[in-house]
Chain A
Amino acid sequence: MIELEHLGKVYRENGGELSTVALTDVTFSIQKGEFVAIMGPSGSGKSTLLHILDFLDRPTSGAYRFMGRDTSTLTDIELAHLRNKEMGFVFQAFNLLSRASVHENVELPLMYAPIPQFRRQELVERAVRAVGLEEKIQSPAANLSGGQKQRVAIARALVNDPSIIFADEPTGNLDSKSGGQIMEILQGLNDAGRTIILVTHETYTARYAGRLIALRDGGVERDEPITDRNKGNGLFK
């Protein structure tokens, strides 16, 4: 599904005089249905990698193939359509339209997809039901608790029936109970066959993933399966 080959990203400022290497020689692939946790300390390149993976940014070197297509040949509009059709997003800060209702928030990605109005209602209701918030569907997002907000965000990520979900620190703003619930939902989605890419610095949430990619100084430090969640490996100690 995702193939990265010697991917690099260098930020240049002041007309190229100053340059910062954010990613260097990143090579890995992610298969359909995997649950991958990307971890690493601050400045390790997690966010940069995530933004390249979800097309909000482009690499400065190397190759990125998404579902077999070389993304460097795609236009911004094609990338926007792909993002809308194939990707779902869950953010640490939820990023809901606070004064809009749950329904309106979940409907947002459908506005940018060629889906007729009569189908939308059904899709929104299904996604909201999947996160157990059907009773709150007309409530303004601002009136919800943190855990509920993140469930709305997951419903929004699901509504387009994407093949991959990017979760960027999804439990970072939640208490451990709500965080656990969110991770259970993501786990369920992965069990149903969706690819999940989780960016986190919490070992607790990374335990839900089946594979760990650890970054350091812009490169891949470790890339290994998580076989025993209770015991964990080096990173979980």
Chain B
Amino acid sequence: MQFNDAIRSSLRGLRQNKIRTTLTMLGIIIGVSSVILIMSIGRSAERYIIDQVQSFGSNLISVNPGAPTKGAPAIAQGIVIKTLVQRDVDSLEREPSIVSVAARVSGQSRFSYGNTSKSVVWHAMPPNVFSMFNIELSRGQYYTEADSQAYNKVIILGQELANDLFGNADPIGRSVRVKDFNFRVVGIMKPKGAGIFSFDESAILPLTVGQKQLLGIDYYQEIHAEIDPVYDASFVKSRITSILRQNHRITDPSKDDFMVASMEEALSIIQNVTSALTVFLSAIAAISLVVGGIGIMNIMLVSVVERTREIGLRKALGATEADILRQFLVESVILTSIGGAIGITAGAFFTIATYFGVTYIAKFAWPLQFPLSAVIIAVTVSVLTGLVFGVYPARQAARKNPIDALRYE
């Protein structure tokens, strides 16, 4: 029997039992579309995080106060640690492997304009963070080092915060009340969309003003350092560690009162986590493929019994065991392949639906990813499912005794 005859016979058989064929394929369709959807979401999430980190600057190292712990960092537990000070910033600025250093303090205060007021998270940082964190303005201008030195009450607002406070009015040049001070709005940041490194709903102001006047403290909550690209991140990390140990007079490394982390490291950890999660979820989705495969085997066994006389007839007319085996195998592979193709289409549809949902409803800058590898895996798995779960029924068919088969009622 020629291969195209086997395909033709199989398609005819499947067409004749449309409802059964559809129900049988459903398991494969659900399995394949889930695998595609999960792999696409996994890839999108990974891409999203990488984009976010890269837009923030992947060549950054951050120093946080508190001993390195396996649990939550000290600041997250509400513990105030005052060990990061200007001396540390000065020392790091002298380190040749570091291009620039920026200290940061943050707080949460009520911002008011006219009758509108809102609780806002603000960050006080020197002007070099604008290039360090790729912060771009849609309107107005950045504040300068001179503003910081002069304790000028100037502020840059996130796009959404500006909309919330000022509505349709132009915020530039207007004053926002923060605690007992009036801050003049000098710039509005370009929106970045919702995300882990988004400033859309927060404000940035000069370091000195935030540290000395809003918080009244003389330490920093974090120091950011931009690596000279000539150097390796782990080398710079070790340099920073030794400089800070020297400044803090630490001789025993287990007594460090600071933590140094590079974005690169964070990125690779996040990538590992998302990859592992994707593999894990895909494996769960693959279980439905196995269930679908068992469904295929079940239906093929029923089909073999139902078509006993046909098998007998074909053998009488000259079909060999190999011919019968091939015909039933082709049928189950066609069944799973069509199921796979529909599953891929459904998976693509749900991936696009997810993209629109996350982009336009949740307003995340979600990248649309449809990995080719997912399609290749889906096609391979579909065909293999048909082959593996079709072999047993096909062998049952091929081994039928033609005389008994012809007499079968």
Flag if B314 contacts A108 (CB, 8 Å).
Answer: yes
As a 0/1 sequence over residues 112 to 129 of chain A, the CB contacts with chain B under 8 angstroms (1 = contact) are 110001000000000000
The answer, yes or no, to whether B104 is at the interface (CB within 8 Å) is no
Residues of A within 8 A of B16 (CB): 99
Interface of A is mostly: helix
Residue of A80, A89, A99 contacting most chain B CB atoms (<10 Å): A80
**How far is B12's CA from A113's CA once the two chains are assembled, in angstroms?**
20
Flag if B316 contacts A97 (CB, 8 Å).
Answer: no
Residues of A within 8 A of B317 (CB): 83-84, 89, 108-109, 112, 156
The answer, yes or no, to whether A104 is at the interface (CB within 8 Å) is yes
Closest Cβ of chain A to B408, distance in Å, is: 11
CB neighbors of B among A72-111 (8 A): 76-77, 80-81, 83-85, 89, 91, 95, 97, 99-100, 104, 108-109, 111
Closest Cβ of chain B to A115, distance in Å, is: 9
Residues of A within 8 A of B403 (CB): 51, 56-57
Flag if A97 contacts B310 (CB, 8 Å).
Answer: yes
Flag if A56 contacts B402 (CB, 8 Å).
Answer: yes
Residues of A within 8 A of B310 (CB): 97
Specify the chain B residue showing the minimal Cβ separation from A77: B320
Flag if B5 contacts A111 (CB, 8 Å).
Answer: yes
Residues of A within 8 A of B406 (CB): 91, 95
Flag if B321 contacts A76 (CB, 8 Å).
Answer: yes
Flag if A109 contacts B12 (CB, 8 Å).
Answer: no
**How far is B158's CA from A119's CA once the two chains are assembled, in angstroms?**
77
**How far is B5's CA from A104's CA once the two chains are assembled, in angstroms?**
11
The answer, yes or no, to whether B43 is at the interface (CB within 8 Å) is no
As a 0/1 sequence over residues 41 to 67 of chain A, the CB contacts with chain B under 8 angstroms (1 = contact) are 000000000010010110000000000
Closest Cβ of chain B to A31, distance in Å, is: 24
Flag if B318 contacts A83 (CB, 8 Å).
Answer: yes
Interface of B is mostly: helix
Flag if B323 contacts A95 (CB, 8 Å).
Answer: no
CB neighbors of A among B4-18 (8 A): 4-5, 9, 12, 16
**How far is B321's CA from A56's CA once the two chains are assembled, in angstroms?**
13
**How far is B321's CA from A81's CA once the two chains are assembled, in angstroms?**
12
**How far is B310's CA from A160's CA once the two chains are assembled, in angstroms?**
19
The bracket for how many chain B residues form the interface is 20 to 34
CB neighbors of B among A114-165 (8 A): 117, 156, 160
- A85-B318 contact in complex given A51-B403, A56-B402, C-beta closer than 8 Å: yes
Flag if B12 contacts A104 (CB, 8 Å).
Answer: yes
Specify the chain A residue showing the minimal Cβ separation from B6: A111
Residues of A within 8 A of B402 (CB): 56
**How far is B312's CA from A89's CA once the two chains are assembled, in angstroms?**
12
- A80-B1 contact in complex given A56-B402, A97-B310, C-beta closer than 8 Å: no
Residues of B within 8 A of A156 (CB): 317
Specify the chain B residue showing the minimal Cβ separation from A157: B317
Flag if A95 contacts B318 (CB, 8 Å).
Answer: no
**How far is B13's CA from A104's CA once the two chains are assembled, in angstroms?**
12
Residues of A within 8 A of B319 (CB): 80, 111-112
CB neighbors of A among B319-340 (8 A): 319-323
The answer, yes or no, to whether B309 is at the interface (CB within 8 Å) is yes
Flag if A83 contacts B316 (CB, 8 Å).
Answer: yes
Closest Cβ of chain B to A106, distance in Å, is: 11
Flag if B318 contacts A76 (CB, 8 Å).
Answer: no
**How far is B331's CA from A85's CA once the two chains are assembled, in angstroms?**
26
Flag if A112 contacts B318 (CB, 8 Å).
Answer: yes
- A80-B12 contact in complex given A51-B403, A56-B402, C-beta closer than 8 Å: no
Pick the contact of A54: B1, B12, B313, B316 (CB < 8 A): B316
**How far is B319's CA from A104's CA once the two chains are assembled, in angstroms?**
16
Residues of B within 8 A of A100 (CB): 12
Closest Cβ of chain B to A43, distance in Å, is: 15
Flag if B309 contacts A111 (CB, 8 Å).
Answer: no
Pick the contact of A81: B2, B309, B318 (CB < 8 A): B318
Closest Cβ of chain B to A107, distance in Å, is: 9
The answer, yes or no, to whether B315 is at the interface (CB within 8 Å) is yes
Residues of B within 8 A of A85 (CB): 318
Flag if B313 contacts A113 (CB, 8 Å).
Answer: no
Flag if A95 contacts B309 (CB, 8 Å).
Answer: yes
Closest Cβ of chain A to B321, distance in Å, is: 7
Pick the contact of B323: A57, A89, A99, A112 (CB < 8 A): A112
Cross-chain pairs A/B with CB under 8 angstroms, 13 sampled: A56-B316, A76-B321, A83-B316, A84-B318, A85-B318, A89-B316, A95-B313, A95-B316, A97-B310, A104-B12, A109-B317, A109-B318, A112-B1
Interface residues of B (CB under 8 A from A): 1-2, 4-5, 9, 12, 16, 309-310, 312-323, 402-403, 406
Further 8 A-B residue pairs, CB within 8 A, beyond A56-B316, A83-B316, A91-B406: A56-B315, A84-B317, A89-B317, A99-B16, A108-B313, A112-B314, A112-B319, A117-B4
Closest 5 CB pairs of A and B: A84-B318, A112-B318, A111-B5, A109-B317, A80-B320
Interface residues of A (CB under 8 A from B): 51, 54, 56-57, 76-77, 80-81, 83-85, 89, 91, 95, 97, 99-100, 104, 108-109, 111-113, 117, 156, 160
